[in-house]
C-alpha cells in the first residue's frame, strides 16, 4: 500500500533543515581551518564549544570534513523524499531513504561519542544529531508499506528492508568508530609514503626549509634529546583551537617516536605581547604564555603546558593560579613571576624569533626546519617524520 505524501513531505522538510545546519557547520569548519584566531558564534566556553570539536582530528572522515558528509547525506535524503512528497513515491526510493536515515543514525551515535571523548559539547553537532533522529523517526514507519510475503523479492519484503536498515546502522557505527580511532597509516618507509599519498609527499617535499639554528636557542623548552634526528619546533598559542589539535597529535608522536625532539615557542595572537597582530584574537594568550614561563622557572613547564592546552577555554588569571596549584608550584613565587615585566619580555623573545622566520599564524611547525602552517591530521605527522628520518639517514638523497 502506497503511503500518503504527508510523511514524505515531513521527511523532506527535516532533510532540508539538516542541509542548512550542515552547511553552517561546514562554513565554520572551513573558517577554523583557514582563518587564524577565528572564533565561531557557538564557542560559548569550556564545555559548550563547537570550535574545539570542529577543530579536532575527529572532524574529518577519510580526509573529508564530517559536515560535508552530513550535507551530502541530507541532500540525497531530500532528493529521495521528493517523489513521495509529490505522491509519486516508489519502493526503491523508500528503501534507500530508510537505509540512508538508518546509516545517519549510526554516524550520529559515533559523533555523540566523539563529543563525550573530547568533553566538549558542539551545539551544531547536537542539532545535527537531533535532526537525524527526527528524520529517522519520520522515515522508519515507511517500512510498513513493504509486503510481509516471504515470496516477495527481498527488497520489496518488510524483513529485507528491516535487515538492510539494521545493517546500514551497524556498518555506519563500526566504520565511523574505526575512522575515529584508527591509528597512524602504517607506512614505514619513504616509498610507502610516496605510494600511499603522492599528493602529500609532493606538497611536503616542496615546502620551504629554514635553518634549525635560526629556530631555537639553548634555553628553549625542549622535550626529547637535543641531537634527535627529527627536530620539531612549534610556534603556538595556548588559546588557539587548532593548536590544541596539534598539541594532542604531537604529544602522541613524541611518545611513540624516541628519535624526535619537540621545542615549544610562544606566539600568542594577542597584542599585549605580540605587536605583529592587528587585534587581540586570543586575549588571554599572553598571560597564559607568561604563566607557562613561570611554571618553567620552577621546573614544571611541560606539566603546566599540558594543563593549559587541556583547559584552553579557561585561561583567565584565576584559572592560571588553579593550574599552578595542581602542578604544586610555589604560589607566591608564581605570582611574583607572573607580574614581572621580565616574564613578558621572555615571551616577546619567542615572538620576535617567530617573526624573523616568517611565523604569522598558529600553529606553525618546523620539521627539521621544513615549514608547516596549520595543524595536520595525525597520520601526516608520521609521514613527515618518515620523510625527515630518511633524509637524516641518507642525507645525499635529501627528501626526494
| Domains of the chain, first to last | 5-181 (1.20.1440.130), 190-393 (3.40.30.10)
Residue 106 has pLDDT above 70, yes or no: yes
Whole-number pLDDT of residue 153 = 52
Residue 36 has pLDDT above 60, yes or no: no
CA distances in angstroms from 372 to 153, 203, 205, 206, 368, listed in the order given: 56, 10, 11, 11, 11
Residue 216 has pLDDT above 80, yes or no: yes
Window from 69-83, 175-189, 270-284, 302-316 with minimum mean pLDDT: 175-189
Judge contact between 391 and 398, C-beta under 8 A: yes
The Cα–Cα gap between 120 and 115 comes to 5
Judge contact between 192 and 386, C-beta under 8 A: yes
Residue 395 has pLDDT above 70, yes or no: no
The Cα–Cα gap between 236 and 231 comes to 16
Mean pLDDT along residues 208-233: 90
- Strands 364-367 and 370-373, by their bridges, are antiparallel
Q: For residue 100, which of 154, 160, 165, 5 has the smallest C-alpha distance?
A: 165
Judge contact between 92 and 130, C-beta under 8 A: no
Written as nine digits, the cell of 6 is 504527508
Judge contact between 243 and 309, C-beta under 8 A: yes
pLDDT tens by residue, 242-294 = 899 899 889 888 887 778 999 999 999 999 999 998 888 899 999 999 999 99
Whole-number pLDDT of residue 53 = 82
* pLDDT band, residue 72 (cuts 50/70/90): very high
CB contact set of 158 (below 8 Å; sequence gap of 6+): 143, 144, 146, 147, 148
Residue 394 has pLDDT above 70, yes or no: no
Kindly write down the DSSP assignment for every residue of 352-373, as one continuous string: HHHHHTT--SSSEEEETTEEEE
Phi-psi region of 388 (alpha: psi -120 to 50; beta: other; left: phi over 0): alpha
The Cα–Cα gap between 171 and 32 comes to 30
Mean pLDDT along residues 121-133: 93
Highest mean pLDDT among 26-30, 368-372, 396-400: 368-372
* pLDDT band, residue 69 (cuts 50/70/90): very high
Average pLDDT, the chain: 87
Model pTM greater than 0.85?
no
* pLDDT band, residue 185 (cuts 50/70/90): very low
Residue 184 has pLDDT above 60, yes or no: no
Judge contact between 312 and 120, C-beta under 8 A: no
Residue 46 has pLDDT above 80, yes or no: no
Amino acid at each position: 500500500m502506497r503511503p500518503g505524501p504527508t510523511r514524505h513531505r515531513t521527511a523532506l522538510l527535516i532533510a532540508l533543515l539538516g542541509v542548512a545546519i550542515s552547511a553552517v557547520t561546514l562554513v565554520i569548519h572551513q573558517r577554523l581551518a583557514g582563518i587564524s584566531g577565528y572564533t565561531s558564534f557557538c564557542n560559548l566556553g569550556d564545555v559548550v564549544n563547537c570550535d574545539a570539536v570542529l577543530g579536532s582530528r575527529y572532524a574529518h572522515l577519510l580526509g573529508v570534513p564530517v559536515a560535508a558528509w552530513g550535507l551530502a547525506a541530507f541532500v540525497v535524503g531530500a532528493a529521495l523524499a521528493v517523489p513521495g512528497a509529490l505522491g509519486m513515491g516508489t519502493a526503491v526510493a523508500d528503501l534507500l531513504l530508510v537505509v540512508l536515515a538508518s546509516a545517519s543514525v549510526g554516524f550520529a551515535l559515533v559523533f555523540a561519542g566523539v563529543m563525550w571523548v573530547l568533553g566538549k559539547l558542539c551545539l551544531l553537532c547536537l542539532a545535527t544529531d537531533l535532526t537525524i533522529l527526527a528524520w529517522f523517526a519520520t522515515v522508519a514507519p515507511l517500512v510498513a508499506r513493504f509486503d510481509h510475503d516471504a515470496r516477495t523479492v527481498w527488497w520489496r519484503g518488510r524483513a529485507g528492508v528491516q535487515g538492510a536498515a539494521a545493517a546500514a546502522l551497524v556498518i555506519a557505527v563500526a566504520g565511523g568508530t574505526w575512522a575515529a580511532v584508527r591509528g597512524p597509516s602504517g607506512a614505514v618507509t619513504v616509498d610507502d609514503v610516496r605510494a600511499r599519498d603522492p599528493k602529500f609527499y609532493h606538497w611536503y617535499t616542496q615546502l620551504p626549509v629554514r635553518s634549525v639554528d635560526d629556530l631555537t636557542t639553548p634555553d628553549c623548552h625542549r622535550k626529547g634529546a637535543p641531537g634527535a634526528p627529527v627536530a620539531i619546533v612549534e610556534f603556538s598559542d595556548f588559546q588557539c583551537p587548532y593548536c590544541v589539535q596539534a598539541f594532542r597529535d604531537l604529544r602522541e608522536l613524541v611518545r611513540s617516536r624516541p628519535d624526535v625532539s619537540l621545542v615549544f615557542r610562544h606566539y600568542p595572537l594577542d597584542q599585549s605581547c605580540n605587536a605583529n597582530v592587528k587585534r587581540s584574537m586570543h586575549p588571554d594568550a599572553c598571560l597564559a604564555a607568561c604563566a607557562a614561563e613561570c611554571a618553567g622557572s620552577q621546573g614544571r613547564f611541560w606539566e603546566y603546558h599540558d594543563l593549559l592546552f587541556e583547559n584552553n577555554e579557561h585561561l583567565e588569571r584565576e584559572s592560571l593560579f588553579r593550574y599552578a596549584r595542581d602542578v604544586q608550584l610555589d604560589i607566591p613565587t608564581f605570582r611574583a613571576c607572573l607580574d614581572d615585566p621580565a616574564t613578558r619580555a621572555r615571551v616577546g623573545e619567542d615572538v620576535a624569533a617567530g617573526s624573523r622566520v616568517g611565523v604569522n599564524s598558529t600553529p606553525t611547525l618546523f620539521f627539521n626546519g621544513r615549514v608547516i602552517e596549520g595543524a595536520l591530521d595525525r597520520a601526516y605527522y608520521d609521514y613527515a617524520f618518515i620523510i625527515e628520518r630518511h633524509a637524516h639517514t641518507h642525507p645525499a638523497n635529501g627528501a626526494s
